[in-house]
Homo-oligomer: A and B are copies of this chain.
């Protein structure tokens, strides 16, 4: 299989973004490993800038634009972490950012994006309105549209989280990520292929948004209608660029229910004293739900983010 991104592409992305991101710690917990029945290594992207791995992909995409193109700015639509990632990346690169957000987005996210000096345009909370509004801005300003996940520069950026984990922890038997749009998982797939081919790659996916699971069964991209889960970062539909990479490498996708996601999230909060968002708890729930697969193994887990509204906790 020849992948559209090379080993060197990923290393370049890492060099490009390293001055601007945190090298997040890999944490372990005897207690949690005991509960899971395997040795867990948590890559803590909840401690990443903007509180999520998305800072990596956003930065790599913005910094990879040719100088002249970059000056016209970047545009995206997102109600979540990608919006903040692009706003932050544009600020660091000194170029304008135009962010389309649904008017229903949480106040805290709007404030977060505004704090980086991005120009926010509100739209109706539909996919159509988002895309039209972004397209209009693109035409008016000449800004470059950056997809939250279906973009090779974004994938290369997200890949650096797995790269750092493999660099720090040797001989992982397995690596597991949450999967939504697929940027993080596609990045993990490439890094596993190039740097640690003996490691088995898994993903955890919410039962209420199981398009990756179904797509892998069908061998073709199969969106699900009205995805719904407490893991709000994983509702996006898998991108085709991501899917083509993931399907070549991944061992299995495990589906988990919302109650199990909440239980795993609470367990990590209580035992490890760190804050992870529901999406980040999905791979943890998948491990707890499939203990036989991971028994006695050395398992890397990407804790994808920690952005939680403390006023609306599920416990």
Contact = CB atoms under 8 A, between A and B. Distances in A.
A8 interface: no
Given A266-B310, A313-B313, A273 B47 contact: yes
A273 B51 contact: yes
A273 B46 contact: yes
A1 interface: no
A63 to B, nearest CB: 20
A266 B306 CA distance: 14
A47 B276 CA distance: 15
A270 B273 CA distance: 13
Contact of A274 (B266, B270, B275, B313): B275
B273 A273 contact: no
Most B CB within 10 A of own CB, among A46, A274, A276, A313: A274
A302 to B, nearest CB: 15
B315 A310 contact: yes
A96 to B, nearest CB: 23
A227 interface: no
Contact of A270 (B269, B270, B310): B310
A25 B266 CA distance: 22
A178 B275 CA distance: 22
Nearest to A46: B273
Contacts of A269: 275, 310
Interface string A269-295: 110111110000000000000000000
Interface in A237-290: 266, 269-270, 272-276
Interface string A303-315: 0001000110101
A311 B315 contact: yes
Most B CB within 10 A of own CB, among A25, A270, A273, A274: A273
Contacts of A266: 310
A310 B269 CA distance: 9
A272 B22 CA distance: 13
A91 to B, nearest CB: 14
Interface string A5-41: 0000000000000000000010000000000000000
A166 to B, nearest CB: 21
A34 to B, nearest CB: 11
6 contacts: A47-B273, A51-B273, A266-B310, A269-B275, A273-B306, A310-B315
Given A266-B310, A273-B306, A311-B315, 8 more contacts: A47-B273, A269-B275, A270-B310, A273-B274, A273-B275, A274-B275, A275-B275, A313-B313
Interface of A: 25, 46-47, 51, 266, 269-270, 272-276, 306, 310-311, 313, 315
